[in-house]
């Protein structure tokens, strides 16, 4: 039985408990085997366990004959962009993204920074489990080379995008407070902001891996940033998660916006520049539908997971894609979520909007509230049963009062959609939990929709008392 977590984004566990050096080395050897001992770019976030993890990973990659290009401490999108520019066969980033400080993990990408598909992750797991490693002999051991320009190259690539005009951003001189949670964005993001001509106030930008607040930049974690934006009379506050692929925003009046706004602003900004499709996951805010309607473009919905969004973006040639977590993909740069590119897009949006404040731009967005709850069930098997029953009931009983006027989307879990609201039921891949998310114009409506759906799930389970509802 595994004690670490494997998901579409890679492997994660608690250092010293569920993730140890041996496991990390075995995963690196499995990955070195997977890429045939070719060139692999590595990078890591600032976690204090990253030093150990780097050595464990190097052992596995060198043993399988890989030529390692080490981008050092940098955001995940920076490492993947390095892989793209070097045409490397693989990337391995040591990060646990937004998980707490005692966690770490590995994220894998294939050639040129392309995220692994589910089938490829399964193949990697097969190699890991079977220990079918391609171990190199004495003469074919791998090598390590430091790559010191990853951060500068990433900044240069962003500034080169045709939707950036430094002339305009430098004349607007946006005053920004940036909170990097002492994570991997601590160096690159303040530098990028200065290049854009912003007045920068750094908060928690010491890349030492000691997190001053929760690693996930939820509104509750951003008190210090909200206070700083107000006391410094800044135009905007930005915060990253630890590996800086996500970005969230605090308005000029010190109010933290839901992470859904990052993608919404970025999409609005990009659609003002050019026309093209948008791709979002099924659980991303319907603000995006309204924005797509307003601009007369199409929105495609995918299963939850950056990999699915990327695949759909490539098929539809979409101009932007992302998730409600604050992760946005800019295909001109690369096909992965990039918190630094989001900073540039939003600073440019402000600079293009004459004297508008970010609070005014937020107020002009379509307004919805999300409600997120989960139903804890005794086992994954129970979760499967509940999902099957829910699907059958909602498909068979379209005439239920609860269903009136709704359409069903079965892309990922079960989503019921009305004109101005939706609710989705999804099974967790890693724990015995069913997640119920809803969105509606008011918080009361969203909560009522979430609760009525949870009640139906309990009815489907024939009143089993073995489940527990909690807010998330
Ligand atoms: Mg992240």
Catalytic residue status for 97: yes
Q: How far is the CA of 179 from the centre of ligand 1 (A)?
A: 15
- The better pLDDT of the pair 16, 8 is held by 16
**To the nearest whole number, what is the mean pLDDT of the chain?**
94
State the distance from the centre of ligand 1 to the C-alpha of 216, rounded, in angstroms.
8
Contact by Cβ (8 Å): 137, 326:
no
Closest CA to 337 of 293, 297, 279: 279
Q: How confident is the model at residue 468 (pLDDT cuts 50, 70, 90)?
A: low
The CA 405 to ligand 1 mean position distance, Å, reads 37
Tokens 């080379």 found at: 145
Kindly give, in sequence order, each residue whose CB lies less than 8 Å from that of residue 323, ignoring residues fewer than 6 positions away. 263, 280, 281, 284, 304, 306, 309, 337
Residue 465 Cα to ligand 1 midpoint, Å, equals: 36
Going by their DSSP bridges, the two strands 433-440 and 422-427 should be labelled as antiparallel
What's the pLDDT score for residue 177? 98
Distance 184 CA to ligand 1 centre (A): 10
Q: How confident is the model at residue 185 (pLDDT cuts 50, 70, 90)?
A: very high
Report the alpha-carbon angle 52-54-58, nearest 5: 120
Distance 49 CA to ligand 1 centre (A): 17
- Each residue's pLDDT tens digit, 87-132: 999 999 999 999 999 999 999 999 999 999 889 999 999 999 999 9
User: Which of 60-64, 69-73, 316-320, 384-388 comes out lowest in average pLDDT?
Assistant: 384-388
328/337 Cα distance (integer angstroms): 5
Residue 243 has pLDDT above 90, yes or no: yes
> How much of the chain exceeds pLDDT 90, in percent?
84
**Which pLDDT does position 178 carry in this prediction?**
98
Other Cβ atoms closer than 10 A to 207: 18
pTM value surpassing 0.85: yes
Least confident of 157-166, 325-334, 462-471: 462-471
Could you read off the pLDDT of 389-442 as tens digits, one per residue?
A: 888 888 877 666 667 788 899 999 999 999 999 999 999 877 788 999 999 999
Q: How far apart are CA 441 and CA 447, in angstroms?
A: 11
Question: For residue 241, how far is its CA from the centre of ligand 1 (angstroms)?
Answer: 6
Q: Ligand 1 center to residue 339 CA distance, Å? A: 9
Contact yes or no for 262/249 (Cβ under 8 A): yes
Task: Tell me the CA–centroid distance for residue 246 and ligand 1, in Å.
Answer: 6
Cross-strand pairs, 426: 435
Tell how far the Cα of 326 is from the centroid of ligand 1, in angstroms. 9
Catalytic entry in 9, 49, 83, 97: 97
């Amino acid at each position: 039985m595994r004690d670490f977590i494997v998901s579409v984004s890679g492997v994660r566990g608690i250092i010293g408990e569920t993730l140890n050096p041996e496991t990390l080395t075995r995963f690196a050897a499995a990955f070195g085997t997977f890429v045939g001992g070719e060139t692999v770019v590595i990078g890591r976030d600032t976690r204090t366990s990253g030093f150990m993890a780097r050595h464990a990973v190097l052992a596995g990659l060198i043993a399988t004959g890989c030529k390692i290009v080490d981008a050092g401490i940098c955001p995940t999108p920076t490492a993947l962009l390095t892989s793209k520019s070097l045409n490397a066969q693989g990337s391995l980033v040591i990060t646990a993204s937004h998980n707490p400080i005692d966690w770490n993990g590995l994220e894998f990408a294939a050639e040129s920074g392309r995220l692994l598909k589910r089938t490829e992750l399964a193949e990697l797991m097969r190699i890991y489990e079977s220990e079918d490693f391609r171990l190199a002999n004495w003469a074919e051991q791998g090598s390590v080379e430091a790559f010191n320009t990853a951060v500068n190259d990433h900044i240069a690539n962003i500034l080169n995008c045709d939707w950036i005009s430094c002339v305009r951003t430098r004349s607007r001189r946006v005053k920004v407070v940036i909170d990097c949670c002492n994570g991997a964005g601590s160096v690159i993001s303040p530098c990028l902001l200065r290049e854009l001509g912003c007045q920068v106030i750094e908060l928690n930008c010491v890349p030492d891996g000691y997190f001053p607040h929760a690693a996930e930049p939820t509104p509750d974690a951003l008190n210090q940033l909200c206070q700083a934006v107000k006391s410094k009379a800044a135009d905007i506050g930005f915060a990253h998660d630890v590996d800086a692929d996500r970005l969230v925003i605090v308005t000029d009046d010190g109010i933290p916006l839901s992470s859904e706004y990052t993608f919404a602003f970025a999409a609005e900004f990009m659609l003002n520049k050019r026309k093209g499709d948008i791709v979002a996951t099924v659980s991303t805010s319907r603000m995006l539908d309204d924005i797509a309607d307003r601009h007369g473009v199409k929105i495609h919905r995918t299963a939850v997971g950056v990999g699915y969004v990327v695949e759909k973006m490539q098929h539809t040639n979409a101009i932007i894609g992302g998730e409600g977590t604050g992760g946005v993909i800019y295909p001109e740069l690369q096909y992965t979520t990039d918190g630094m590119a989001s900073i540039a897009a939003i600073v440019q949006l402000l600079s293009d909007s004459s004297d508008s404040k970010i609070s005014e731009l937020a107020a002009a967005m379509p307004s919805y509230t999300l409600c997120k709850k989960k139903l804890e069930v005794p086992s994954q098997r129970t979760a499967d049963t509940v999902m099957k029953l829910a699907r059958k009931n909602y498909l068979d009983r379209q005439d239920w009062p609860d269903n009136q006027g709704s359409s069903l989307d079965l892309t990922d879990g079960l989503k019921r959609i009305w004109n101005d609201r939706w609710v989705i039921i999804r099974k967790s891949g890693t724990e015995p939990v069913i997640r119920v998310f809803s969105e509606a114009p008011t918080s009361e409506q969203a909560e009522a929709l979430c609760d009525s759906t949870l009640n139906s799930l309990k009815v489907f389970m024939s009143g089993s008392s073995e489940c527990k509802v909690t807010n998330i």
